[in-house]
Every structure is written in C-alpha cells, then in structure tokens.
Chain A
Amino acid sequence: MLSRLKHDLTMAEAARGPGGSRVDLLEVAGMVEEGARVLDVGCGDGELLRLLETRGVDGRGIELSREGVNECVAKGLAVVQGDADTDLADYPDDAFDFVILSQTLQATRSPRVVLEHMLRIGRHAIVSFPNFGHWRIRLQLALGGHMPHTDNLPYAWYETPNIHFCSIKDFRQLCRVSGAKIEKAVALNAWGRRMRLKMPWWFWNLFGEQAVFLLSRQAG
C-alpha cells in the first residue's frame, strides 16, 4: 500500500499544491473541520495526518504496511498497524468526527463492509478513489482489449493490489445501498485539479480521474 502511495505521490508531483502536498489530499483535508477527531484508514506514510495536524486536528491512522506504520510512529503520529477489512470492527460507534479512506477503497476485500464501518465509527466519511469510468480507461478496455494502465493505476492486472475498482456511478450506488448520504462530491481531472464547472454526474464519470466524496449517515 505504501509503495503504491509513494508511486501516486511521484505521479502527482507535478500537481502539487502550494504546501507541497498532494492535491487530492488537500481536497480531502479541506473537507475536515478544524479541531475534529479523525481516523485515516490506509494512511501510508502519514502525509495527510501531518497536514491535518497542522490544522489542529486530532488524527489517528491505520496502515497495513509495516514500513509505513513505523515511519508514521517515528514522526510522532498515532498510527497502528492494521487492516481496513478486519480492524475497523474493533472501533466503537461514533468514535470520530471523520473517517477517511484515501485511495484505498479499491484495495479492500469488502468495500461495502468497510464503508459501513466508516459510517458507524465516524459522523462523516471521506472517500477518495480512482474513477474506473474515466474515458481513457474505458477506451483501453473497449478498443485496446486489455486491462487499463494509467499513471494513477500503474499495475499489471496480475500484481495489482486493487481488487475492487469502481466508477463514480458505481460508488454512488454503493452509497445508496449502504445508507450513506452524499454531502459533497468533487471530481479531479488528470492533473489532479478540481473540475470547476458544475457538471452532470455522467460528465464527471467520464472525465474525472479521481473522486472525493464527503458522506454522512442517512438519518434513521
């Protein structure tokens, strides 16, 4: 997971924001209220948590890779080694204001269970993921006849940790069946920049490379 994140970071190098942070992380961080209690699931080397802590957020992290965890702990971050698929069940209800899953959903075994736990543990969930509905991906599969390969998805099909890809449209459907209310959604283009115009969902689904969703529990 860490090596993937590192790769993503290199890929997004060109799209860095003023603070030197990944733009999609800035997008995620922007959705978090100041001073909130946050759990970052799949926190990698802790870049997002660091960013959040500068904003007075009480952040915790879970990371699968040992190297990532040790790096985070050595930075003074509160991160535990664990697995989103198995360990979220151990957290009590309403323990956090925000539970974040950044570029990790597609690597989980049970995305629906993970999302439901996130909504149980936190008041809000923030999920960012690569959009499998992007036109380049559609094109590679439709015309190239092979599994898509992009800067954001650099793995060959036989060695990818990503086992549950979805499009923005698919994710909206997951939100419906999981009882998640979409409070805010942002699509990022190939350069990691927010797609500015208010566009219909089908447009985002075709031209958004990544998506960031802010969710909350459906009342009742």
Chain B
Amino acid sequence: MAEISATLDLADRTREADQPHSPVVRFPDSKPLRLDAGIDFFPLQIAYQTYGTLNEEHTNAVLVCHALTGDQHVVNRHPVTGKSGWWETMVGPGRPIDTERYFVICPNVMGGCMGSSGPASTNAATGTPWGLDFPVTTVRDMVRAQAMLLDHLGIDSLFAVAGGSLGGMQVLQWAASYPERVFAALPIATATRHSAQNIAFHEVGRQAVMADPDWRGGRYFTEGTNPRRGLAVARMGAHITYLSDAALHRKFGRRFQDRDNPTFSFDADFQVESYLRHQGSSFVERFDANSYLYLTRAMDYFDLGADYDGVVAKAFRGTPTRFCVISFTSDWLFPTPESRAIVHALNAAGARVSFAEVTTDKGHDAFLLDEPELFTIVSGFLEGAARARGLKATRR
C-alpha cells in the first residue's frame, strides 16, 4: 500500500489526467463537444485503449464502455495501481470478446480522471485543474464524445457495444443515439433510468466527499489537500451495494480479523470492516474525488425515456441493432426488473432482443467476475451476431 500511495500524489493525478499512459486524442478548439448542459466544451481530450486489429473492412470493432470507477485499461496492467485490467475475464484472446477476432476500443469516459477531459484535467484558461468549474456532463455527452473518437479513428460502425452498469447505460444510449452505427448491443446489469434508491446511495457518497474538510469546495488540487477520508467512505458505502447479503456472508460471515475476541473498541474487529476499509483506502489511490461526484451525477441524470416523451420504446423504434440484455439474480442495485423494462421497451419497438438472467450470489459486481454462464451467453450472442454480420472466424 505504502508503495502505491508514494507513487501517487496529487501532481501524479493531474499528470495522469492530462498526459495519460494510453493513446489520447486532443480535439482542436474548432471541434467542441456540445453538452446537454448547453455548453460547447473545448478543447476535448479523450484517452482510450485498443486491443486486437481492425480488419480491412472496418467491421470488427467492439466498443467496451466502462463503469463508474473503471477506466480504459480493460486488459492491460493498470498504470497507477499495477493491477491487471478490470475485464480480463471477458476480454482478451480466446475470451468471449475475443481480441484475436475483434478490435476492442475502450475510451475513458468524459468526466473521468484517467486522461479524458474531466474535473482533474487542467483548465487551459487558468492553468489549474478544473475542479467544480468543469461542466456537469451526462451519459449522452459521454457517448457523443465517444462518437467523436470513433470518427477520428475512422470507424463508421461498431460490430458491438458492451458494458455493465454505467457502461450499460452508455450501451443503451449508443443504440438510441446512433442505431445505424451499432450492429449488436450488450447492456449488462443496467437500467434505462437511475432509480430513486440508486440516486439516494449516490447522494450519500457525494455528501461523504463534500463533508471532508480536505475537499475544500472541490479546490483540493490548488490547496494541496486530498479528501481521502470522504472518498473512502463514499467507496465503502457504494461497495456494499455492489455485493449481496449472501456474498458478504459467504466471504466474511461474522468472522473476526486477526483476533479471537472483540476488542470492545471501534477497531476493525470484523473481517468485513477490514475489507471495506481496504476497498476505501485503495480506491482513493487511483480515483479523483471530483470525478466521483461528476460520474455519479451523470448516472443520476440518466433517463433514456425522458428524451422520448417518457416512452423508452420510442428510443428504439425501428432499430436495426440486435440486443442481448443480461441481469444477475442477486443484483439489488440494478435488479432484474430493470432489465425486463429494457426488454419490454425493445419488444414494443420490434427489436431483435435476447434476455438472460444469470444465477449468482455475487450481486451487481458479478458482471466483472468469473461467471461461466455469463461468458457462454456473451460468446453465443456475439457468435450469432458475427455470423449475421458475415465476420470471418479469424482465430488461428
């Protein structure tokens, strides 16, 4: 732990935000991003990773959309933490999203802190990080920025767009905004709008960040502080929502941490406490507190139907995209009825849709974990789509 925190002070954070350890596109001022907030944002910067090779016909590109605290480093060693990528179970050679067959692109979302424009990026006008002067962005803004990236890379249409949670929201937005550019869509453990309960959880997290005196109204970069405690508490609370009662009980039960009896104090007596504290403290080493505020806000604002007279089906009317919606039995953050609502809307729109619920006790985070049933479904869906698209099986 000490080694990692030693390598990541605030200066490193802004450096990763401005000059990331990944390819980056810096759009000129003449190519602004029109935000839902009504602002033309420039200069826009998008950091991304790619894996595999784009075929000659440009028909094998798969866009992977990351979740709230993810980033573009899907299957490579993370430049900050040194850990392996966040979706190595799903993406890679011979994996369901096979990098020997598909060209995988994953951009860091707008508002993130790993190289795409966000509150930790330097505001060219002031020479200091944006902080709360950064405009509030939406899922639709993220997707528009990604479309600009694809234009830049010369990719007209995507073979597939895949992602879980916030990533799944982006998948749905992609299919709604650019139906002709998306051949197949894989929204996993997600919803067409963020529920009141989820907004409530996010608000608790944001309040934890803002209650930390080191947050300094979002100006901690310039004041030389870092709201570690606030962000750690936010992460601890959120992390519980990513798991399930059953999973927590299976992993920790009521077991004590390195002791046989309670200490009659407020130490981390229980393993589950120790685990959460570790989740909190390791998170603040790699994530920007203001980014956390912006990205949770983007999720809260997400309501696909609202843009279409409150009828989600209208967002997909006549869509040529084929969908595979997946949920998990123990996910209480984005429970199965949310996925069913997506399916109902797609059915009403006459879309070609598959829907499967995977049995697991691992909660919302199951989409990131080793779930063989999930992999079989994704492989089968993509295989069927590849046949329909006429993609050759290029595996050696």
Binding site for B on A (CB under 8 A): 58, 60, 66, 69-70, 72-82, 87, 90-92, 95
26 contacting pairs across A/B (C-beta < 8 A): A58-B352, A66-B356, A69-B355, A70-B373, A72-B354, A73-B324, A73-B354, A73-B355, A73-B377, A73-B380, A73-B381, A74-B377, A74-B380, A76-B380, A76-B383, A76-B384, A76-B385, A76-B387, A78-B353, A79-B354, A81-B355, A87-B344, A90-B347, A91-B347, A92-B347, A95-B350
Give chain A nearest CB distance to B43 CB in angstroms.
43
Closest B residue by C-beta to A59: B352
Chain B contacts for A58, CB-based, 8 A: 352
Residue contact A70 to B377, C-beta cutoff 8 Å: yes
Give chain B nearest CB distance to A129 CB in angstroms.
25
CA distance A92 to B346 in the complex (A): 11
Residue contact B347 to A80, C-beta cutoff 8 Å: yes
With beta carbons under 8 angstroms apart, the residue of A76, A80, A82, A91 that contacts B381 is: A76
Chain A contacts for B352, CB-based, 8 A: 58, 60, 78
Contacts A74-B377, A78-B352, A90-B348 given; indicate if A66 touches B359 (C-beta within 8 A).
Answer: yes
Closest A residue by C-beta to B325: A80
CA distance A55 to B384 in the complex (A): 16
CA distance A66 to B327 in the complex (A): 12
* Beyond A66-B359, A78-B353, A81-B355, 12 extra complex contacts between A and B, CB < 8 Å: A69-B356, A74-B380, A74-B381, A76-B384, A77-B384, A79-B355, A80-B355, A81-B357, A90-B347, A91-B347, A92-B347, A92-B348
Give chain B nearest CB distance to A88 CB in angstroms.
10
CA distance A76 to B324 in the complex (A): 10
Interface string of B362-380 (1 = CB under 8 A from A): 0000000000010011011
Chain A contacts for B359, CB-based, 8 A: 66
CA distance A70 to B384 in the complex (A): 14
CA distance A74 to B375 in the complex (A): 9
Residue contact B347 to A74, C-beta cutoff 8 Å: no
Chain B contacts for A77, CB-based, 8 A: 354, 384
With beta carbons under 8 angstroms apart, the residue of A60, A70, A90, A91 that contacts B356 is: A70
Chain A contacts for B373, CB-based, 8 A: 70
CA distance A53 to B312 in the complex (A): 29
Residue contact B376 to A80, C-beta cutoff 8 Å: no
With beta carbons under 8 angstroms apart, the residue of A74, A76, A80, A92 that contacts B353 is: A80
Interface residues of B in 34-73 (CB under 8 A from A): none
Judged by a CB distance under 8 angstroms, whether B322 is at the interface is yes
Closest 7 CB pairs of A and B: A76-B384, A74-B380, A80-B355, A73-B354, A90-B344, A74-B376, A78-B352
Judged by a CB distance under 8 angstroms, whether B191 is at the interface is no
Contacts A70-B377, A92-B348 given; indicate if A75 touches B356 (C-beta within 8 A).
Answer: no
Chain B contacts for A74, CB-based, 8 A: 376-377, 379-381
CA distance A72 to B355 in the complex (A): 10
Chain A contacts for B376, CB-based, 8 A: 70, 74
Chain B contacts for A90, CB-based, 8 A: 344, 347-348
CA distance A76 to B387 in the complex (A): 9
Interface centre among A73, A87, A90 (most CB of B within 10 A): A73
Chain B contacts for A81, CB-based, 8 A: 355-357
CA distance A79 to B325 in the complex (A): 10
Chain B contacts for A78, CB-based, 8 A: 322, 352-354
Interface centre among B325, B357, B380 (most CB of A within 10 A): B380
Interface centre among B343, B347, B353, B355 (most CB of A within 10 A): B347
Chain B contacts for A76, CB-based, 8 A: 380-381, 383-385, 387
CA distance A95 to B379 in the complex (A): 28
CA distance A16 to B206 in the complex (A): 63
